[in-house]
Homo-oligomer: A and B are copies of this chain.
C-alpha cells in the first residue's frame, strides 16, 4: 500500500505538504503542488480513510440499521439516503437479525460508535439490547414500539392509519372487518396500535369489535398471511373486509381470496399499510395507508442532524401523520349489502 510518506519522499516534500495539497486546507506554492500531484499520480496514491477517520475523530458516515431492507425500510432508506448525502455525509445500511449473536454484534456499542449517527429500527429488538445502548451517541429510533425516553424517536400514527382504513371499509358497506396480523394480547408494538385503531373505527361506527376477527400471524409475510387467511376462509368466522397489518400481508390475503374465488372488493374489501409501490399496480389496486415516507425521512434526518451537531435539547418523540390511499380493493361507493 502506497502511503502519504511515499508520496512525500517521491516529491521531495514533507507529508504535511502532501496533505495540504490534497485537502486544500493550506496554501501551497504552485511548483510544489505540481510536483506533489505528479507524485500522487505516478504512485497511484489514495488516501487511507481509516487513518483519516481516526485522526479526525469522525467518520462522516451515518448508518441505518434495520431488520430487513424490504418494503417499509427499503422505502425509508431510499428517502433518507439523499438527505444524508446532502449533509455531506455518507449513508450505509446494516441489518440486524441474521442470528442472535450477530444481532448483538451489529448493535454493539463499538460498532455504533463507528458512525457519526445512527438510525436504529427497534422492530426486532429486545428491550435489553436497547437498554445497553448509551444515550451519548447520536441515535434516532425508528419504529413503533413504546420506547424509553432516552432517544429521539420517530413513529407512525399507526392507530390513526388503522382507524382510517377500517372506517373507510365500514363506510363502504363492510360490517365485519378482519384484522389480519393484529396482536391479540396487549403487547406494546405496532400491531397492537393498529389493532386499537381497528377497534376504534368499529366503535365509532356503532359496532362492537369482535375479537374473533383479530387474526394473529407468526410473522408479517405474505406466506403467513396466505396460510392464516386460508384457514379463516375454510372454517373461521364470516367477514366482509380485511385490514392487513401491512401490504405484504395484504398480498398473501389477496392470494387466499383469489384461490377460493372470493371477489375483491365485491364480496370482501381489502386494505393494507405501507403503500408500497407495487400496491398501486396489483389489480384491482390495493387500498393502503401511506406512511408519508418523505415526512418520516425528513423528520428522522432533522433529529439526527440536530443531535450530531451536538444539541443536548430534550429528546423528541415525533409521530408522523399517515393518509389513506383509496384504490380498487375497497369499494368506491356503498355497495348494495
Question: Which residues of the other chain, B, contact A146 by a CB distance below 8 angstroms?
Answer: none
Choice from B46, B94, B281 contacting A222 with Cβ under 8 Å: B281
- Segment at the interface with B among A23-31, A51-59, A123-131, A291-299: A51-59
A312 in the interface, Cβ–Cβ < 8 Å? Answer: no
Q: How many copies does the complex hold?
A: 2
- The interface size bin for chain A is 35 or more
Question: Which residues of the other chain, B, contact A134 by a CB distance below 8 angstroms?
Answer: 44
Q: Are B95 and A81 in contact (CB under 8 A)?
A: yes
- Segment at the interface with B among A165-173, A178-186, A197-205, A247-255: A247-255
**Which A247-301 residues have a C-beta within 8 angstroms of B?**
248, 251-252, 254-255, 258, 277-278, 280-285
**Which A81-111 residues have a C-beta within 8 angstroms of B?**
81-82, 85, 90-95, 98-99, 102, 105-106, 109-111
Task: A36 to B49: give the CA distance in the assembly, Å.
Answer: 31
CB distance from A2 to the nearest CB of B (A): 11
- Can you name the residue of chain B whose Cβ is closest to the Cβ of A68? B78
Q: Are B70 and A74 in contact (CB under 8 A)?
A: yes
CB distance from A313 to the nearest CB of B (A): 22
Q: Which of A48, A50, A94 has the most CB of B within 10 A?
A: A50
Nearest 3 CB-CB pairs, A to B? A258-B283, A93-B93, A255-B281
